[in-house]
Structure 1
Amino acid sequence: MKILSRYILKEHLGPLLFGQAVFTVILLMNQVARKFDELARRDLDPEIIAHFFVLTLPFILAVTFPMGVLVATLAAFGRLSADNEITAMKASGVSLYDMLTPLLGAAGCLTLFMIWFNHGVLSETNHELSRLEADIARTKPTFVLREGSINEPGGSGNYRLVVDRIDRRSDRLYGVRIHDANDPALQRTIVADSGTMGYSANGRDLVLDLHKGTVYELKLRKPSEHRALHFDRQQLVIRNVGSVLERGQDEDDYRTDREMNFEQLLAEVRAERVELAEADSAAVSVAREELQAYLTGA
């Protein structure tokens, strides 16, 4: 009987692994298709993107594991039936209960494993994924300068950039015009023959190094007061333009129900019951006071 049990379990193992792998790859590719473009636009490190998809795997496995078990059961018993092996087992005195006993034992072990997996692994990875998604949502997309069009780098300042030509090999800009709209009472425009663009050491601030240009300033309330300042070289720094992922602090430990293990869910239920009881008690007290006031007034 031990040989028969091992044989039946062996027949399930191959289809289980195959079905699990196929369904996992399909759902993972679906996640990649839905999320990769958004993550890539924010210019995140490859390690962050890979970490994001690794964190989605536990949720996918929790869905695909029962699907793999179903495929394994159908494939194994389908093959045994097609090859008349089930008929041969029954003819040899093996009952259906004897054939199902090892599978019921394996199903019990898999059930315990999935309970542990959902309790310990899935809740924590869901919480970590939720925190990572919130951190990514706060990350601004990388500013990409396009020639011949109005560019708005964003960040802390209100600037608009127009560049006639960009030499991609040397990263040099030609025909640079910058409109500074930070002061509503002052119209300020910077015109430069050439320049370069880069980021500061912290990766956040956009640094424009301009050469041979003029700064035109015009007070809107007093148009007669205008001036032009010529320069050979000027550096303009626009703050908080780069995309730097900042991870949230661990103190913010709010969790949804999908991010809680069994103990946390039970604690949440108990807290909600206490809060509901307090609300009911307060409502009863208010009703009594209102009734007492009504009777006294009457």
Structure 2
Amino acid sequence: MRLIDRYILHQTATPLGVSLTVVLAALVLERILRLFDLVAQQGKSFGPVLTMAMSLVPHYLGLALPAAFFISLFLVSARFSGDSELDALRGCGLSIRRFARPLLGLGLVLTLFSLALYGYVQPYSRYAYRAIFHAVTNAPWEASVVAGTFIDAGGGYTLYADRMDVTGQWLENVFVHERQDDGTEIATTARRGELELRGDDGQISVLLQDALQIRSVAGKRDAALAFDRLMLGRAFTLKSPLFRNRGDSEREMTLTELRDEWRNPESKLPHSRLKAEFHARLVRSLSLLVLPMLAVPMGMAAKRSFRWQGIAVAAVILLLYHHAVQLGESLAHLGRADPLYSLWGPFALFAAGCGALFANTERRPGANPFEALFERIDDIVRPIRRILPRRRVPT
């Protein structure tokens, strides 16, 4: 690798690392807040939240990588063009294609990384997240009671106790509400209660002393019964329901498994869904290889005065391409279109457009079509800027 290649890659590494970290952190933190809210509503422990968030890192990394890669390429190209470094390189006999060669090589490396990420890492991490999520949302009551708090014990039972001992086994001033499947409601109060765990079968029972029970049945008079000792009629198990095996969803299959499964005539999943998932992962990975051919011409046109215009136009282009791929994947998923047309078609058009733009910039560097577009956007926005009040800088 020549010195100029190392220099270009070094200049690209910093914005790539920063933008990737910022985008990835924003996505993961947003999901962590949602998970904390979900766990709080379920009344469960917050311990698994970070584990679930770590399981989602490969998924969000796949979302953040294309945006971060394009932003870094755009900023580097704009800086080289704005600081006249690109003109100096061209004056030394190096073409724009030569300038973009290390960036295309970096795109190839990230494409291979994305194939491994989309094809083999994300299926396992997505299954791990769903398994932990299932364990959290379906976890049984662990026989823990907080004084002065209503506890949903599952199975239609709600428990409340004013006080308890340090072990959490003996309760005072207990209230238990039970709602049965037929609509019957049973409210029980007791002076004392005991949570008992039977180790032989791993079940929990609630033994109440000096209890008063009121049973309400629709269409009948309420019945009140008093008990010296009362064992609740339903035992609570500590066993969590098992989660399904990996592979029941096409998104949890690796690329190799998807290929083998859609060739299997006895597959439980529709072949259209398997093929759509397989081709969509390939298209998203290979799209990284095309981004340098779009980012370099846009960065050259943006320079210093048109940075935000370039980022705005790039966001619109990439968003339209992303939705086109999503639409093609949905049509292929439903079996209404062949993935060769609905997925590879948008990719071919996008790649051809980027390649033609890059080739035109290589042949005629002074006739970059984005320069006129950015100037037109600036002409439209300039009168709006004059109307808006300006921020005063304190002296």
* TM-score (ref. length: structure 2): 0.53
Q: Secondary structure of 2:28's partner?
A: helix
Q: Equivalent residue for 2:116? A: 116
**For the Cα contact (< 8 Å) 2:246–2:252, is it kept in 1?**
no
The answer to whether the 8 Å contact 2:59/2:122 transfers is: yes
Between 1:139-148 and 1:38-47, the stretch displaced more is: 139-148
1:240 aligns with 2:236: yes
1:103 aligned residue: 103
1:177 deviation in Å? 5.0
| 1:91 counterpart = 2:86 | no
C-alpha spacing 1:141/1:28, structure 2 compared with 1 (3 Å): farther
Q: CA deviation at 1:115?
A: 1.1
Q: Unaligned 5+ residue runs, structure 2? A: 271-395
2:261 to 248, 265, 268: 268
| 2:25 counterpart letter in structure 1 | V
- The separation in 2 between residues aligned to 1:265 and 1:153, in whole angstroms, is 41
Number of residues of Structure 1 aligned to a counterpart in Structure 2: 261
Equivalent of 1:167 in 152, 163, 166: 163
Corresponding residue of 1:255:
248
Give the structure with the larger helix fraction: 2
Cα-to-partner distance string for 1:140-177 (whole Å, 9 max, x where unaligned): 5778678598x76433xx656565xx137866754445
Q: Distance in 1 between matches of 2:262 and 2:233?
A: 52
Q: Deviations over 1:25-76 (max 9, x none)?
A: 1110121122222234445555533221111110100111111101111111
Matched letter for residue 37 of structure 2? D
Q: CA deviation at 1:3?
A: 0.9
Conserved? CA contact 1:154–1:241, under 8 Å: no
Q: Distance in 1 between matches of 2:242 and 2:41?
A: 18
Cα offsets for 1:239-270 (capped at 9, x unmatched): 2276x645436xx3433222222222222322
Equivalent residue number for residue 369 of structure 2: none
> SS of the residue aligned with 1:248?
coil
Distance in 2 (CA, whole Å) between partners of 1:115 and 1:127 is: 18
Superposed CA offset, 1:186-235 (max 9, x none): 99876533345576669975554544x156799x9xx9xx985535xx66
Give secondary structure in 2 for the equivalent of 1:94: coil
SS in 1 for 2:154: coil
Which SS does the other structure have where 1:114 is aligned? helix
Shift of 1:11: 0.6
Q: Which residue of 2 aligns with 1:33?
A: 33
For the 8 Å contact 1:178–1:189, the answer to whether it is kept is yes
The Cα RMSD (Å) is 4.4
Q: Using the alignment, how far apart are the partners of 1:16 and 1:69 within structure 2?
A: 6
Alignment of 1:191-270 (within 5 A): 191-195=189-193, 207-208=205-206, 210-211=208-209, 213-214=210-211, 229-230=227-228, 236=232, 238-240=234-236, 245-248=240-243, 252-270=245-263
Contact kept? 1:19, 1:71, Cα under 8 Å: yes
Code of the aligned partner of 1:230 = D
Separation of aligned partners in 2, 1:65 and 1:81: 24
Structure 1 residues 274 and 88: alpha-carbon distance in aligned structure 2, compared to 1, 3 A threshold: same
CA positional deviation for 1:87: 1.6
More strand by share: 1
Q: Equivalent residue for 1:73?
A: 73
Which 5+ residue runs of structure 1 have no aligned equivalent? Answer: 277-298
Aligned partner of 1:284 in structure 2 is none
1: distance between equivalents of 2:119 and 2:149? 56
Residues 1:127 and 2:127 aligned together: yes
